[in-house]
Structure 1
Amino acid sequence: MRLSGYLRSSFFSCALMSVAWPISFLSETHAQSSLPPVTVDAPDVRRPVSAARQAATTRRGATVRRARSPASAAAARPIEQGPGSQGQRDADGSIGVVATQSSAGTKTNTPLIETPQSISVITRTQLESQAVRNVSQALNYTSGVFGEPRGQVNGYFEFPYIRGFSPAGFLYLNGLQLLGASAGLQIEPYGLQRIEVVKGPSSILYGSGPPSGIVNLVSKMPTAKQFGEIQLSGGDFDRKQVAFDIGGPADPQGQFLYRLTGLVRDAQTQVDFTRDDRYFIAPAVTWRPNENTSFTVLAQAQKANSGFFNFLPAQGTFLPNVNGRISTSLYGGDPNFNRSTIESAAVGYQFEHRFSDVVTVRQNYRHAWLDVNADNIFTGAFLPNQQRIVTRTAFSNRDRYDADTLDNQVQLNFNTFDLRHTVLAGYDFQNSVQDKKTGTGVAPSLDLFNPTYYVPITAPAFTVNTTQDFQQNGVYLQDQIKFGRFVTQLGIRNDRANTDTLNNFTNKTASQTDEATTKRAGLLYLFDSGVAPYGSYSESFQPQPGTDFFGAAFKPTTGKQWEAGVKYQPTFFNGLFTAAVFEITRQNVTTPDTAPGHQGRSVQLGEVVSRGLELESRVSLTNELDILAAYTYLDAKVTKSTNLLGDLGKRPVGIPTNAASLWADYTFRSGALNGFGVAGGVRYTGSTAANADNSIEVPSYTLYDAAIHYELAYLDPRLKGFKLAVNATNLFDRVYTASCLSTTNNQCFYGLRRTVLGSLTYRW
């Protein structure tokens, strides 16, 4: 089934290209009159001249040079230099913490100031400045995002919330979904160039998904400039890590470029008996036979000895317990039983060819697999009439995921009278196969205040043994139209998704087919001052495997968003400011069936509405000061439900109403402290509901982060290229509960305690 699907996709790709060839010849006569994308010459980043200023002067008619190709993404075409640092241009074109373009929202590398949708970009400079440990932690200073609701839980999923909804299982790597909707995977942030957060329904370009939006991870790519980096780091919880990143041209002509990124980590965590070990390697090669064609092969492999789910009760974490506070290092499992080995690999390519100034075609493909071999013990409820001993459940999980993903695109840039069009037509296909075995059994109870470990525990027999094959085919069309200062974005897509679930015990297959058409529209106006107000509408859909009590298949959940906002890209310094208000309605949400005799079944009567305000600023002033600021107000409510859990009209669990953050990084560029930098940040997270009826709330908390760094060449010229840095997360060691999923089942999560990491980096 996977092979036939891929052949169909390849056939469709050839058909798209066969259409593009005659269009390219016919369009040659229009090439001179059309307005292809332009690229402004890079600024001298030593002076306070911003990319925003260039964009503004371009709109006013300044001299520009014509781009060699439209370029679908920052990663689609190698950049002419290697990794950057504070105040310098990064390999993807961003300066400091400010990115001015993104492909995630449109797949056409559109300037953020011209995109009528809220998109946040975490640059490589920010990832390094904050020394992030995982993708979720990298999102902590982003508006609209609750990055670490599971606190210090170290599983193989990323668990952020975006605008009140979770995109878990919907991470994207270089524009292609990772492993399918039901799989999760932690991607090593050292291998990333940037992280792009597209907020709100995004099915028009990406197919099935939640209304939260997507998190697109962009890999480090080969560059045309030779460079190298090696980094040694270590810190709390006996963390030891070595990483390297090298690349450049492989031949004198520069037709072949390469990059090799790798990492080895040996580490414990704040929870006793748990590990955070990892091996990661990511090679990449680009072939550029001419200025119009590029072909990049990307691969990565990762093995992790990590993954645990430390569920804790509310009594003893944030609520009083007669026995005192539960230790933040308490391990709810047993080292004699628990284990978690996660292996993954991926290989694929990105192809782009520009036929003319009008026509460009692209094809992106990836095959990925993931193996999970895990045994965990979950703590449950307290034994009756006491707050000390909890029941426990043993859980065994063996998962194997295989996924093929293909995305074909034809981009047309042309004029019709005074309208400048950027049309994107595409067909994408994905096929993910999951072999899943799970089993649950009873485990010995545990005294949370005097735990006993290394007790005999019988591995549970597998009670679930399924093979699920998910296929999705999507055709999409998007037109970005410029008329004077107006920018309009229109899009439509049709998807067909098929899910076949084979019960390997009974040899019976349950099949489900869903089809959906989603739409998007947006309008934006560009002022000379750099101000751009906009409004937009977008939709999403997400298949829901399963049936109700009567055997009827669940309909896909749907999402609709209205958004209005304003963006400001100053003309006199490098920065980007955004403000947005939005309303998202998610329908067909499953809710418990309250009919007599239907206990344990669900019906689709649920609806959740999320309304909010987001403010965000990203500023890089010269090469000395970077500033990030964000504020989020979120009013999320369950508006339709059977109310069996008392959730009607209540906030969903784990979603803060208010959140704010501020980060600043300053580096001295003169005087006795030349080359020395200091950074600090503060993060506020408001209270969250701990149970469905909102009768219990997790208290708000404020955390502080800090860092110092020093470029050692200013101490001794012979140390050129060396940089020393020390980062502290939760500087004042606040003990806090990040959130709860349920107080009835004791599913609360401690946040990360103070963590200090030191690193020594050498670049050449």
Structure 2
Amino acid sequence: MTRRLGIAILLGSAAFAAAPGYAQTLREDASEVIVVTGQHPRDQASSGTKTDTPLAETPQSITVITADDIAGLGLQNLNQALRFVAGVTPEQRGSSAEVYDQFKLRGFDAPQFLDGLKLQGGVGYLSPQIDVSRLDRIEVVKGPASVLYGQSGPGGLVALSSKMPLDRNLYGAISGSYGNYDLYRVDADIGGRAGEGVLWRINGSANGASTQQRFGERERQTVSAAVTVGSGSSSSFTLLGAYSHDPKNGTYSVFPASGTFLENPNGKLSTKWDGGEPDNFFSREQAALTYIFNHDFGSGWSLRSSGRYQYVSSKLGIVYPGGSLDSNDPAQRLYDRYSYASDEQLNAWTFDNQLHGTVITGPVKHDILFGTDRQVSHAKQFVAFGSATDIDAFNPVYGTMPVPRTPLTVPDSTPQRNQVNLRQQGVYAQDQMSVGGLRVVLSGRQDWARIDAYGQTSKSEKFTWRAGALYTTSIGLAPYVSYSTSFEPQTSRLGTPDALGEVAKPSSGKQIEAGVKYTVPGTPILLTAAWFKIDQTNLVTSNPLTNLVTQAGKVRSRGVEVEATAPLPYGFNAKLAFSRQRLKTIEDTNPANIGKGILGVGRGGISANLEWAPNDGALQGFAIGGAVRHVDKVYAGTYPYGATPGAPTNTPSYTLADALIRYDIGALSSRLKGLTVSANVTNLFDKKYISTCYLDYGWCWYGNRRTAQATIGYRF
């Protein structure tokens, strides 16, 4: 690994790189690097209100991440992109679960929406993942958003936007990346006009890497194609198809708490250690077809209709360490292991129809939105959990058992077939009123949901709403306050595996948020600060010792967040994100849980990015920068195994540094126009740290060690 790291840094110092994963950056002026796909300004978002609204006039916290940000920081997945968002506890399973984008937003799991439509998930281990090469931008909506999107958690949601055809004659880009851990990326993007009002675009990526753990390897090939008919007219229709093949999905495993977070007399386990088997596998296939129809009626009224069919399948077979030491081993070297295999499929349909218009009543302007949406999903799972041989963590011997290839080959198990069908229908309305400097948002929604799971049918309905007000002043200050609610059907089944009960009831949440936004007059500098309080009820909890699943209680999340985006003089650009939060159980059937936190939720942290790209002079075209990321302690639960009373309940905080360098070679000669090189290093000082622990299970995860990558790209 050291040799490969040295090669990558050498390539980077020779400037043999471009913006990783994209390489389609171009410079419109001397102060800003933008990606070919940019269609919306950074200071505007559509996800919070489903209308294009300036961030400074939206009474809600929203963070925007552009493809330019992803490229400039060399980010490889959504988890990494969310490292720089206030209120997010990122990378829940560290370097050991790149197959998923696992994070907490304001203390809660947050769903993902792609092009305004929810990305549906499966029954157990099946979950879609969108490659960042397909994304034009990411908008993180904080706080309950059910009023516009239906089923959504109280912490908020992540809205992803695909790269769409642009109204240009011909454009394109190609890039290639290399890094340590055998990281590679080859990305391509091309599009243009095919006739009057007809636009097209195709982009794809082949990427992969070895993982930090010994046997892990990920590999992906993905391609997307889109065509728009009627561009520039009152009616347009876009059809977008996407396919991803992930024959290898890295490592989905754990580290035992003893020997990582907790002391073990034999020492610490290496970050390379793998408690599974070389033949562990996890493959996934994804396909989707999306349509978007827009029609402008004139007089300020328009219609948008969109829908998507989504297919996802996955297969996995894994031997993994259970977390606990073998009780018959006084030397504390042997760890219990288990095995499982799963075969899952998902077919889902999602639709959203919106009518948007403007009405003037006296001095008040009303931006009115009416909508209806529907979600249907059919998820199947064939799964089995079983036993496995022990492993000596400090002198591992592999090959003591075969990895199960199907649920039928899992030892000491009874395979199960599960199917969950979900249907949800919603109607919603919203009025954005503006008069003078006052902005008021009122939204309401009615949902009807039905879940058919485990031979049972569960029906529910819920009215959710939101009210917010913001006042803009002549000096750029805009204080605001909002109240919103959430509703989220759940598919968990209560009881124990031997005595299963009814399907859990939907959870509900409510939030009050107050804050202020400040735009420095005459500049794009935006600073935001917010305080929030969220209550969630009907929380589902599982006891890892008894496998009892219950639903009761109430959790509360309180916190403050500060974010700033500041293009500065002399070519500097700065970003800051700070958050401080506390999430705890305030009601529960088990009194021992009251006052405790929720596994995997951190107290907050701070990140700061600074980049220098001279606007003129001999160094024009050159950029250098870096970032510092501090993550505060994360709640880890309590350790129930062995003689370790009073074990710590929080993982230690950690601070990491990143660095980047980039050069637009086109600044040297017009014949080299479009050629860009760069290098990125994350965790620059190679800090070894624990990202999260679930001590109730005896599980922990190491964070990502130093990674370096270099890329060369060309765009036209």
TM-score (norm 2): 0.89
* Residue 701 (1) aligns with residue 642 (2): no
Please tell me the residue identity of whatever aligns with 1:736: Y
* Residue 356 (1) aligns with residue 310 (2): no
Are 1:342 and 1:370, in contact at CA under 8 Å, matched by a contact in 2? yes
In 2, distance between residues paired with 1:689 and 1:367?
Answer: 38
Q: CA deviation at 1:250?
A: 1.5
Indicate how the Cα distance of structure 1 residues 144 and 757 shifts in structure 2: closer, same or farther if over 3 A, else same: same
1:257 to 199, 203, 212: 199
* Residue 609 (1) aligns with residue 556 (2): yes
Counterpart position of 1:269: 211
Q: CA deviation at 1:563?
A: 0.2
Q: Note the 1:153-164 alignment, pairs <5 A.
A: 153-164=96-107
Counterpart position of 1:247: 191
Q: CA deviation at 1:386?
A: 3.8
Indicate how the Cα distance of structure 1 residues 307 and 207 shifts in structure 2: closer, same or farther if over 3 A, else same: farther
Secondary structure at 1:190 match in 2: helix
Are 2:453 and 2:503, in contact at CA under 8 Å, matched by a contact in 1? no
* Residue 172 (1) aligns with residue 119 (2): no
Counterpart position of 2:673: 720
Please tell me the residue identity of whatever aligns with 2:552: L
Counterpart position of 1:382: 325
Q: CA deviation at 1:315?
A: 2.5
In 2, distance between residues paired with 1:582 and 1:488?
Answer: 19
Are 1:574 and 1:621, in contact at CA under 8 Å, matched by a contact in 2? no
In 2, distance between residues paired with 1:622 and 1:184?
Answer: 44
Q: CA deviation at 1:529?
A: 2.2
Counterpart position of 2:477: 531
Q: Note the 1:662-741 alignment, pairs <5 A.
A: 662-692=608-638, 695-741=648-694
Q: Relative to structure 2, which stretch is displaced further, 432-441 or 378-387?
A: 378-387
Counterpart position of 1:515: 461
Please tell me the residue identity of whatever aligns with 2:663: Y
**Gapped regions of structure 2 (runs ≥ 5):** 1-24, 640-646
Counterpart position of 1:444: 389
Aligned-pair Cα RMSD in Å: 2.2
Q: CA deviation at 1:289?
A: 5.7
1:580 to 523, 527, 530: 530
Secondary structure at 1:291 match in 2: coil
In 1, distance between residues paired with 2:509 and 2:500?
Answer: 25
Secondary structure at 2:341 match in 1: strand
Deviation readout 1:238-269 (Å, 9 max, x if unpaired): 12221111112122x3x111111101124211
Q: CA deviation at 1:695?
A: 4.2
In 1, distance between residues paired with 2:518 and 2:619?
Answer: 34
Q: CA deviation at 1:463?
A: 2.0
Q: Note the 1:18-97 alignment, pairs <5 A.
A: 87-88=32-33, 91-93=37-39
Indicate how the Cα distance of structure 1 residues 166 and 703 shifts in structure 2: closer, same or farther if over 3 A, else same: same
Counterpart position of 1:124: 67
Q: CA deviation at 1:448?
A: 1.3
Q: CA deviation at 1:290?
A: 4.9
* Residue 751 (1) aligns with residue 715 (2): no
**Gapped regions of structure 1 (runs ≥ 5):** 1-80, 503-508
Counterpart position of 2:514: 564
Q: Note the 1:436-475 alignment, pairs <5 A.
A: 436-457=381-402, 459-460=409-410, 463-475=415-427
TM-score (norm 1): 0.84
Deviation readout 1:339-397 (Å, 9 max, x if unpaired): 11110011111111010123211101000110101111221111123432111111101
In 2, distance between residues paired with 1:454 and 1:232?
Answer: 37
Q: Relative to structure 2, which stretch is displaced further, 221-230 or 580-589?
A: 221-230
Secondary structure at 1:573 match in 2: coil
Deviation readout 1:384-441 (Å, 9 max, x if unpaired): 2343211111110111011100001111211111111111111100101101111011
Q: Relative to structure 2, which stretch is displaced further, 605-614 or 551-560?
A: 551-560
In 1, distance between residues paired with 2:40 and 2:448?
Answer: 37
In 2, distance between residues paired with 1:179 and 1:647?
Answer: 31
Counterpart position of 2:605: 659
Are 2:638 and 2:696, in contact at CA under 8 Å, matched by a contact in 1? no
Runs of 4+ in 1 over 6 A off after TM superposition: 81-86
2:58 to 108, 115, 119: 115
In 1, distance between residues paired with 2:137 and 2:416?
Answer: 38
* Residue 199 (1) aligns with residue 142 (2): yes
Counterpart position of 1:281: 223
In 2, distance between residues paired with 1:317 and 1:241?
Answer: 32
Are 1:591 and 1:641, in contact at CA under 8 Å, matched by a contact in 2? no
* Residue 188 (1) aligns with residue 131 (2): yes
Q: Note the 1:359-438 alignment, pairs <5 A.
A: 359-380=301-322, 381-384=324-327, 385-438=330-383
In 2, distance between residues paired with 1:222 and 1:123?
Answer: 17
Indicate how the Cα distance of structure 1 residues 664 and 736 shifts in structure 2: closer, same or farther if over 3 A, else same: same
Q: CA deviation at 1:148?
A: 1.4
Indicate how the Cα distance of structure 1 residues 396 and 602 shifts in structure 2: closer, same or farther if over 3 A, else same: closer
Please tell me the residue identity of whatever aligns with 2:287: A
Deviation readout 1:560-590 (Å, 9 max, x if unpaired): 0000011112222222211000000001113
What count of residue pairs does the alignment treat as equivalent? 665
Indicate how the Cα distance of structure 1 residues 181 and 567 shifts in structure 2: closer, same or farther if over 3 A, else same: farther
Counterpart position of 2:540: 590
In 2, distance between residues paired with 1:180 and 1:148?
Answer: 19
Counterpart position of 1:236: 180
2:80 to 134, 137, 155: 137
Q: CA deviation at 1:547?
A: 4.1
Indicate how the Cα distance of structure 1 residues 627 and 93 shifts in structure 2: closer, same or farther if over 3 A, else same: farther
Indicate how the Cα distance of structure 1 residues 94 and 365 shifts in structure 2: closer, same or farther if over 3 A, else same: closer
Identity %: 36
